[in-house]
């Protein structure tokens, strides 16, 4: 952070501060070499730097899993919550402090299994936060158990003969919930597109859901390999109001013109087939946000103590 030199005549205020990457980078990440989380963390740090978000006014909330170590590697405020509980914690933070920039990082097991109930209702609440689902199709931290997004037939420690069921599709699920206002998909091996998608998600006012296809070099090294090695297996959604990365045009020839206002087409494109699609599937800025309808009154520390004491007195015997 730049040093503030005060004189007798003037002294810069906190709002005059400028931040460098050193103000956001925390300890060295302890993810495995080759893990897609490294690329995602770098993109997030670049977003913080570009937007000059104040570290003391930025909060990262996570659940449990490899991806949920995110708050430890940043110098912002962070809350490493329980498995599947990142979204209710983030909701409480945003309701109490709507002035904060709130980010949520979850894994596919964390979000789509034990946290699925919270996930569905958080979409419906449409609270202003940026939500990243880091989806590597496996429980990584607990060493290779089948997750809700594990491909059918993939062998794991919990299903050694292969996953029994077809995988849950996070895009289809999110797009099917009332009041979903921003749904996008990107990938850790596409850093420019990843950064542009996170930037669009942060600027959106409402619940921004970004599924990030994320490589796990230890337990699911081959899950996205076809898409990585053969660009013809991917489709890029393009539109003037979407996420359009011109640098990808030379590599990815399959480009689909998709208006992100079209919810029905978004749902069709989200359904699984032989293509992996990235881009902005849906965005609608007009949907109501829960924190605007149910704002928590601002209270001083003394007010909070008095209210707490009054509540405790109700149960005095």
Note down the domain range covering 230: 18-289
Residue 6 lies in a domain: no
**Residue-wise pLDDT tens digits, 162-192:** 999 999 999 999 999 999 999 999 999 999 9
Residue 226 lies in a domain: yes
- 68: CATH: 3.40.50.970
**Residue-wise pLDDT tens digits, 17-45:** 999 999 999 999 999 999 999 999 999 99
- Span 145-174, average pLDDT: 95
d(CA 42, CA 64): 20
Nearest alpha carbon to residue 207 among 260, 284, 281, 130: 130
Total domains present in the chain: 1
Residue 300 lies in a domain: no
Residue 314 lies in a domain: no
Give the pLDDT score at 11. 45
Comparing 123 with 296, the larger pLDDT belongs to: 123
d(CA 174, CA 270): 10
Nearest alpha carbon to residue 44 among 248, 201, 154: 201
d(CA 173, CA 171): 5
Give the pLDDT score at 295. 66
Residue 299 lies in a domain: no
Give the pLDDT score at 299. 82
Residue 294 lies in a domain: no
The average confidence (pLDDT) of the chain is 92
**Residue-wise pLDDT tens digits, 212-230:** 999 999 999 999 999 999 9
**DSSP code at position 38:** H
Residue 2 lies in a domain: no
Q: Which residues pair with residue 8 across a beta bridge?
A: none
Query: What phi, psi does 201 have (nearest 5°)?
Result: -65, -40
- Kindly give the pairing relationship between strand 276-283 and strand 182-187: antiparallel
């Amino acid at each position: 952070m730049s040093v503030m030199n005060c004189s007798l005549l003037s002294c810069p205020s906190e709002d005059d501060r400028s931040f460098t990457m050193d103000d956001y980078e925390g300890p060295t990440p302890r993810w495995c070499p080759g893990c897609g989380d490294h690329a995602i963390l770098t993109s997030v740090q670049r977003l913080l730097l570009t937007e000059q978000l104040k570290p003391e006014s930025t909060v990262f909330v996570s659940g449990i899993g490899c991806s949920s170590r995110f708050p430890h590697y940043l110098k912002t405020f962070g809350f490493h919550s329980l498995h599947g509980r990142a979204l209710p914690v983030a909701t409480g933070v945003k309701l109490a402090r709507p002035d904060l920039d709130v980010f949520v990082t979850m894994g596919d097991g964390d979000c789509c299994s034990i946290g699925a109930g919270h996930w569905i209702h958080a979409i419906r609440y449409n609270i202003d936060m940026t939500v990243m689902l880091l989806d590597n199709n496996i429980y990584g931290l607990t060493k290779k158990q089948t997750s809700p997004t594990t491909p059918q037939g993939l062998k794991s420690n919990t299903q050694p003969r292969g996953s029994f069921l077809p995988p849950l599709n996070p895009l289809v699920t999110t797009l099917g919930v009332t009041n979903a206002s921003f749904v996008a998909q990107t990938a850790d091996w596409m850093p420019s597109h990843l950064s542009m998608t996170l930037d669009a998600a942060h600027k959106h006012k409402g619940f921004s859901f970004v599924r990030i296809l994320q490589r796990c070099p230890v337990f699911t090294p081959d899950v996205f390999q076809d898409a990585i090695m053969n660009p013809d297996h991917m489709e890029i959604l393009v539109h003037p109001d979407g996420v359009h990365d011109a640098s990808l045009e030379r590599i990815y020839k399959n480009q689909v013109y998709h208006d992100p206002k079209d919810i029905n087409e978004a749902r069709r494109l989200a359904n699984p087939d032989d293509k992996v699609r990235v881009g902005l599937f849906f965005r609608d800025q007009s949907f109501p946000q829960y924190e605007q309808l149910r704002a928590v009154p601002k209270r001083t520390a003394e007010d909070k103590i008095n209210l707490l004491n009054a509540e405790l007195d109700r149960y005095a015997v």
